[in-house]
Amino acid sequence: MVDTGRYMTVNGKPFFILGGQVHNSSAYTRERMAPLWNTLVRMHANTAEVPVYWEQIEPVEGTFDFAIVDDLIAGAREHGLKLILLWFGTWKNGTMKYAPGWMKLQPERFRRVITPEGQSLPVLSPHCQATLEADKRAVCALLDHLKQVDNTERTVIMLQIENEPGSHGSERDFSQEGNTLFAAEVPESLTVVLPAARSALRRIWEEHGARIKGSWQEVFGRQAPEIFTAWSVARYIDEIAAAGKVVYDLPMYVNVWLGEQGFRLAGYDYPSGGAVSQVIDVWKAAAPHIDLLAPDIYFADADHFCQLCDTYSRADNPLFIPECGLWPATARLMFYAIARYNAIGIAPFGIDGLIDEDGNVIESCVALLESFAATRAILPLLPVYQGTGRLHAIVQEEGVREQYIKLDGYTALVQFGVSWYGRQLPAGGASEASRGRGLLIQVGPKEFYVTGVGFTVYIRPTGDFHRFLYKNRWQGSFDAWLMVEAGHFEGEQWVVDERRAGDETDYGLIMATPGQAVHAVFE
Ligand code: DGJ
């Protein structure tokens, strides 16, 4: 198991995943991947999320070919990146897209999910032992290969088992086998956790009489098909993870196609059985070998984004966002995930199109790159200060002009869009891409790091404001800095780019250069 404390560790050290995921079919060949490594480097990422296709590594049943995996590891190493491999196996977005041809062509042996009308879906059934055994064998073979080629260097830091698993097109498998299992008793290992379940699961259970014994329908009523499918999919994946960890103990997670959309109908608006909000506790009970349940958050508004961060950051589940939009909203929302929800990592999806044909970053991604540069500038501080109350998100939502932050003995006033000196910063309510955002960390009684772009910050001793307010705050008030320097971390080392004093601090700590953080010590 990963240390499911707040941090991911790599070679014994805390590691924040600043990642990017390639498009689904980009990893079939080394040639297709070739330009993407540089894209990730230009993005300031430290980790690549790349799929491994079951159909490619086991083209003939029982015969494995890991040449492409070796290419991926070599590509990552050459570019100083870590790798998260995404196992596109039994499930890809609640269907069977990347299952091998030999499996797709034998539906009697590798059974499908059947709808209530008796229609067979392109979804492999979680109740089919033959499919489970085949997937388990393939994952174990992959892990055995990783053990041989990567045990020392540990370029691969995590394995995503399956991709957005669940059943798309039906709430559950209505095959004869599925019906028999559905009519059976809910396992005690699930019912015992229900009284303490945190998610909506407990409410659903209580509404149906809080029964400890009974069939799925009796215990969970209308939502029984989804809960039953979640249990079945989670048990299936857990069996693969458990066997895989015996071969090579790599952290493993399952990503989630979230349920908070449309009419929220399991099997229709999202794959039924995935680890959506209301069944997190089902997954936790059924899949103890899975280290993380990781939401793919494609919401661009702070309310939804933060609500989901909150749901998935639990004592038993550190927040990891393996997919999110490659869009301007992520440029600011990522700072909530880092500072408020102690995320261990974030990776926007579909980085392939980030650089245009002329080698320039496409306009809609500039803000995201700036935020990645800002995060990279103070990266080693994140695992140290997350969860301590000393790491603060600076985020300019629409129309917001200032942010007031209470620190230990100090108060920070962040002004967006205001710089009376030197550079002009974006105004509050300006375009989403130009909104101010970043992080502020109090690392000592009088010592601070600030990173980000699009704002000026004043930091003053709490209750001592009058001393500084002989001018109004817009015109500068001569904060009593002992030392201010701008720079960035290279590995563990803080590198100073420039010193600041006089006009360059009297008008606040101006954050205008992405990738350049400020280290400031009060007198
Ligand atoms: C979520 C999936 O997990 C990804 O593989 C990809 O299909 C994206 N959706 C596309 O938006």
CATH code of the domain containing 468: 2.60.220.20
Domains in the chain, number:
2
Task: Please name the residue whose Cα sits nearest to atom 11 of ligand 1.
Answer: 349
In-domain check, residue 229: yes
Pocket test for ligand 1, best of 168, 296, 352 (most atoms within 8 A of CB): 296
**pLDDT tens, position by position, 475-519:** 445 678 899 999 999 999 999 999 999 888 888 899 999 999 999
Q: Which residues of 378-414 are buried (b: 16+ CB within 10 A; e: fewer)?
A: bbbbbbebbeeebbbbbbbbeeeeebebebeebbbbb
Q: Nearest 5°: CA angle at 273, between 272 and 277?
A: 95
Answer for the pair 348, 325: CB distance below 8 angstroms, yes or no.
Answer: yes
3-state secondary structure of 179: helix
In-domain check, residue 168: yes
Q: Nearest 5°: CA angle at 147, between 145 and 152?
A: 135
**Tokens standing for residue 1:** 């198991």
In-domain check, residue 3: no
Task: Please name the residue whose Cα sits nearest to atom 8 of ligand 1.
Answer: 349
Is 163 near ligand 1, meaning CB less than 6 Å away? yes
Query: Residues 438, 353: one domain?
Result: no
% of the chain beyond a pLDDT of 70: 93
Q: What is the mean pLDDT of residues 131-146?
A: 98
- 27, 244, 430 from 144: Cα distances, Å: 20, 8, 52
Query: Residues 219, 272: one domain?
Result: yes
Query: Residues 172, 302: one domain?
Result: yes
> Which residues share a beta bridge with 404?
413
Q: Which domain holds residue 413?
A: 391-522
**Side chain identity at 350, as an amino acid letter?**
G
In-domain check, residue 338: yes
Nearest CA to 55 out of 84, 87, 22 is that of 87
**Tokens standing for residue 226:** 């989804």
CATH of the domain at 105: 3.20.20.80
In the listed set 331, 351, 377, which residue is the last one of a domain according to the structure? 377
Query: Residues 453, 330: one domain?
Result: no
**pLDDT tens, position by position, 365-389:** 999 999 999 999 999 999 999 999 9
Pocket test for ligand 1, best of 86, 96, 164 (most atoms within 8 A of CB): 164
What is the C-alpha separation between 182 and 230, in angstroms, rounded?
12
pLDDT of 222 over the 80 cut: yes
Answer for the pair 244, 64: CB distance below 8 angstroms, yes or no.
Answer: no
Q: What is the mean pLDDT of residues 346-372?
A: 96
Please tell me the predicted confidence (pLDDT) of residue 476: 45
Question: What pTM, to 2 d.p., does this model score?
Answer: 0.96
In-domain check, residue 223: yes
Query: Residues 260, 357: one domain?
Result: yes
Residues counted in the chain: 523
pLDDT band of residue 465 (cuts 50, 70, 90) is low
